[in-house]
């Protein structure tokens, strides 16, 4: 059988020559077509063996070659007519490639199951961890990591509520102020703070923090931004540092420059945002954000004024020519009456015309004749106006303008003319003061003491004619001082530290008592007065005032719109005082009975200047009331209370030792 297959293979090969063999491509195409045909027939009739293809008249058939395992017959290449559409037939292996999408669907299904399982695990973890704050969480420094929501809320309220109620200190550098949280609606919202930290969430950042730690979390606050902005605007007024403006002053005749320096101002917009966000977390005091504030007058303006105004002004004297009469003003006199003021971003030189006029009069008194002010004097026991007079003088504005032009140019002569000079206090001014009637008077009995009386006469002369303008104060020490021998006063008896002594001006307390009482009865405002330590029968209890230079004064204020003229005089047995003006107040007074009476006792005075006293009046307390009425309506009700010490029996020397006979 082997030989037959061999003989057969050999006979076929001998009949087909090289020229008749198909090309490789033609072989693959036809071989695949024959096989497909066989397979197709097998599919049509699985139990029937395939019929051999009908031979082509021009085709050569090759018998199958034998192999070790071969049982099938293989068709040899056959020259067949080309396919009308000239394209290969479908491959029998296409059915195996169709199985690949099934494998991909199985892989996608597995992946989907895994995703679902992971999502379920993620959600379960989110649910499991939802009741606790993330590990490591702190709010305004308060640790709440890992706590259940309720515990975290309790801890935050306990730790932060007291802090939230405190004043919030705010500062800019060394300057400090504070904010009241309640006034600006600042409050800590614990629920809003915890909302993002507890409860179910799928936020991976929160879940990560719950597993591995989150760290600091800013607290959530509520705030009334309008009120906070208004409060910070007020605080800014306390904390802002004004810029240093460029300036020029004179030291003698030398210009001195103040260099400009930027200031700082609270940036209210930025501060509003910063305070609302960090009031619980920032280091205290809160350093508020600021912005620089440039000075209005900068370095260039200072240099300009220095070189064109200041230095030329004092470079040489200026001669003032008044109708041919000359007065030379020195650089020092010019500088003493020169001032630089800011005008926008520049420095402007201003000259004091009145000061320059005084300087001209000092240099050459013949240049101007001053007028006389009106006076109010006592004549024939009544106020009388001495009319004012006009004079010839320099117009201050004209003089300042002329000196300014001359002082900043090469021509150093200022030409001016004399004008009529009105007095500062005219006749009309005096008449308007309404000094026309007695508004209060008071007298106190005077003991016979010629030395003491001398002091009272000198003091009375000095206060008589003093005109107290509306709103001004009358100070007795200012009117009669200094209390010295050179000013006409002599040494007389006084009470010092509770003991009788002597001093220059002794007895002037009686003038002080009279001046207090006329002011008290006229309704003037009591500024200061001090009663004596011991009561003298010649004075009304509680309505008297001592005097001691320089520490103890008697002062009242003229609270009317009229002038008050003071008058005082001494007669043989009394001291008198009177005030002239226009009656404004209806004054009503009352004095209580003496109470808390203390009887005198024996005391010892070791002072070398001690004077023994036999003792006398007891001590007591008294209260004085005053009601002031205007136009029938009570204006006020005042009271003064004073306690007097008793007139003790004074023994000069040290007290006796224990057991010594004191009789």
User: With 50 as the cut, is the pLDDT of residue 56 above it?
Assistant: no
User: With 60 as the cut, is the pLDDT of residue 158 above it?
Assistant: yes
614 vs 117, 125, 498, CA distance in Å? 116, 104, 14
Average pLDDT of the residues in 170-193: 90
The two structure tokens encoding residue 110: 């597995």
Question: Do 579 and 565 meet the contact criterion of CB atoms below 8 Å apart?
Answer: yes
Residue among 445, 441, 470 nearest 456 (CA): 445
How is residue 100 annotated by DSSP? Answer: H
User: With 70 as the cut, is the pLDDT of residue 412 above it?
Assistant: yes
User: With 50 as the cut, is the pLDDT of residue 5 above it?
Assistant: no
Select the more confidently predicted residue: 168 or 34: 168
Measured CA to CA, the distance from residue 208 to residue 211 in angstroms comes to: 5
If pLDDT is split at 50, 70 and 90, which confidence band does 227 have?
A: very high
Average pLDDT of the residues in 579-588: 96
Measured CA to CA, the distance from residue 221 to residue 213 in angstroms comes to: 24
Average pLDDT of the residues in 204-222: 71
pLDDT per residue as tens digits for the range 461-478: 999 999 999 999 999 999
What is the reported pLDDT for 208?
A: 64
Question: Do 321 and 414 meet the contact criterion of CB atoms below 8 Å apart?
Answer: yes
Question: Do 482 and 612 meet the contact criterion of CB atoms below 8 Å apart?
Answer: no
User: With 50 as the cut, is the pLDDT of residue 61 above it?
Assistant: no
What is the reported pLDDT for 205?
A: 61
What is the reported pLDDT for 38?
A: 39
400 vs 44, 302, 318, CA distance in Å? 135, 22, 12
Question: Do 134 and 210 meet the contact criterion of CB atoms below 8 Å apart?
Answer: yes
Pick the range with the lowest mean pLDDT from 336-345, 349-358, 381-390, 490-499: 490-499
The DSSP line for 229-274 is HHHHHHHHHHH-B--B--EEEEETTEEEEE--B-EEEE-HHHHHHH
Considering the chain, what percentage of its residues have pLDDT values greater than 70?
Answer: 75
Domains (range + CATH), the chain:
2-95 (no CATH), 138-258 (no CATH), 300-430 (3.10.20), 434-652 (no CATH)
Measured CA to CA, the distance from residue 166 to residue 180 in angstroms comes to: 7
Pick the range with the lowest mean pLDDT from 148-157, 221-230, 552-561: 148-157
Question: Do 51 and 40 meet the contact criterion of CB atoms below 8 Å apart?
Answer: no
User: With 50 as the cut, is the pLDDT of residue 386 above it?
Assistant: yes
What is the reported pLDDT for 65?
A: 43
Average pLDDT of the residues in 350-363: 94
Q: Give, in degrees to the nearest 5, the angle at Cα 609 between 604 and 611.
A: 55
If pLDDT is split at 50, 70 and 90, which confidence band does 423 have?
A: confident
Stated pTM of the model: 0.50
pLDDT per residue as tens digits for the range 388-400: 998 888 899 999 9
User: With 60 as the cut, is the pLDDT of residue 362 above it?
Assistant: yes
Highest averaged pLDDT of the listed ranges 121-135, 194-208, 370-384: 370-384
Residue-averaged pLDDT of the chain: 81
Measured CA to CA, the distance from residue 288 to residue 176 in angstroms comes to: 10
The DSSP line for 450-465 is HHHHHHHHHHHHHHTT
What is the reported pLDDT for 118?
A: 52
Average pLDDT of the residues in 603-615: 81
Average pLDDT of the residues in 281-303: 93
Measured CA to CA, the distance from residue 454 to residue 456 in angstroms comes to: 5
Select the more confidently predicted residue: 316 or 495: 316
What is the reported pLDDT for 650?
A: 85
What is the reported pLDDT for 663?
A: 38
The two structure tokens encoding residue 349: 């030189």
Is the previous residue joined to 22 through a cis bond, with omega within 30 degrees of 0? no
Considering the chain, what percentage of its residues have pLDDT values greater than 90?
Answer: 50
């Amino acid at each position: 059988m082997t030989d037959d297959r061999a003989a057969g293979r050999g006979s076929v090969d001998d009949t087909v020559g090289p020229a008749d063999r198909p090309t490789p491509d033609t072989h693959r195409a036809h071989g695949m077509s024959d096989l497909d045909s066989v397979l197709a027939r097998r599919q049509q009739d699985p139990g029937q063996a395939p019929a051999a293809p009908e031979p082509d008249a021009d085709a050569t058939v090759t018998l199958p070659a034998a192999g070790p395992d071969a049982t099938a017959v293989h068709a040899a290449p056959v020259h067949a007519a080309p396919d009308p559409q000239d394209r290969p037939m479908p491959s029998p292996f296409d059915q195996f490639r169709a199985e690949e999408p099934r494998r991909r669907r199985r892989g996608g299904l597995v992946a989907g199951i895994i995703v679902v399982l992971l999502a379920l695990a993620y959600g379960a973890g989110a649910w499991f961890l939802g009741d606790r704050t993330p590990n490591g969480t702190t709010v305004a420094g308060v640790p709440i990591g890992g706590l259940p929501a309720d515990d975290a809320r309790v801890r935050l309220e306990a730790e932060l509520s007291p802090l939230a109620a405190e004043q919030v200190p705010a500062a800019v550098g060394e300057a400090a102020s504070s904010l009241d949280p309640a006034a600006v609606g600042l409050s800590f919202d614990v629920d809003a703070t915890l909302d993002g930290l507890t409860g179910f969430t799928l936020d991976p950042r929160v879940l990560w923090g719950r597993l591995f730690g989150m760290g600091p979390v800013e607290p959530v606050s509520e705030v009334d931004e309008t009120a906070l902005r208004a409060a910070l605007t007020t605080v800014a007024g306390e904390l802002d540092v004004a810029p240093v403006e460029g300036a020029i002053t004179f030291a003698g005749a030398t210009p001195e420059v103040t260099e400009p320096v930027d200031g700082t101002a609270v940036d209210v917009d930025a501060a509003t945002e910063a305070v609302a966000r960090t009031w619980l977390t920032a280091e205290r005091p809160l350093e508020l954000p600021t912005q620089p504030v440039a000075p209005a007058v900068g370095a260039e303006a200072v240099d300009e004024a220095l070189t064109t105004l200041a230095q030329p002004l004092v470079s040489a004297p200026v001669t003032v020519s008044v109708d041919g009469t000359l007065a030379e003003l020195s650089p020092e006199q010019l500088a003493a009456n020169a001032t630089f003021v800011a005008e926008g971003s520049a420095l402007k030189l201003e000259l004091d015309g009145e000061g320059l006029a005084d300087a001209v009069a000092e240099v050459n008194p013949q240049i101007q004749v001053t007028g006389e002010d009106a006076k109010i004097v006592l004549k024939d026991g009544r106020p009388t106006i001495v009319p004012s007079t006009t004079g010839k003088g320099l117009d201050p504005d004209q003089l300042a303008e002329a000196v300014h032009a001359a002082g900043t140019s090469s021509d150093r002569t200022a030409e001016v003319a004399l004008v009529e000079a009105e007095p500062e206090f005219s006749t009309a001014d005096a008449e308007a003061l309404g000094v026309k009637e007695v508004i209060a008077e008071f007298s106190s009995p005077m003991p016979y003491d010629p030395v003491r009386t001398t002091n009272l006469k000198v003091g009375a002369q000095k206060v008589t004619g003093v005109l107290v303008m509306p709103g001004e104060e009358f100070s007795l020490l200012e009117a009669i001082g200094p209390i010295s021998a050179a000013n006409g006063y002599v040494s007389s008896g006084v009470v010092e530290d509770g003991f009788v002594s002597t001093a220059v001006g002794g007895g002037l307390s009686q003038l002080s008592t009279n001046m207090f009482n006329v002011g008290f009865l006229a309704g003037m405002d009591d500024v200061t007065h001090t009663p004596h330590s011991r009561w003298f029968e010649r004075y009304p209890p509680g309505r008297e005032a001592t005097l001691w230079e320089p520490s103890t004064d008697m002062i009242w204020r003229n609270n009317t719109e009229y002038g008050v003229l003071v008058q005082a005089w001494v007669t043989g047995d009394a001291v008198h005082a009177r005030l002239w003006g226009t009656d404004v107040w209806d004054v009503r007074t009352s004095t209580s009975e003496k109470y808390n009476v203390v009887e005198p006792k024996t005391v010892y005075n070791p002072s070398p200047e001690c004077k023994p006293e036999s003792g006398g009046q007891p001590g007591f307390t008294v209260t004085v009331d005053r009601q002031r009425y205007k136009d029938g309506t009570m204006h006020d009700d005042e009271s003064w209370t004073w306690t007097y010490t008793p007139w003790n029996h004074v023994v000069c020397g040290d007290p006796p030792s224990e057991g010594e006979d004191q009789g």
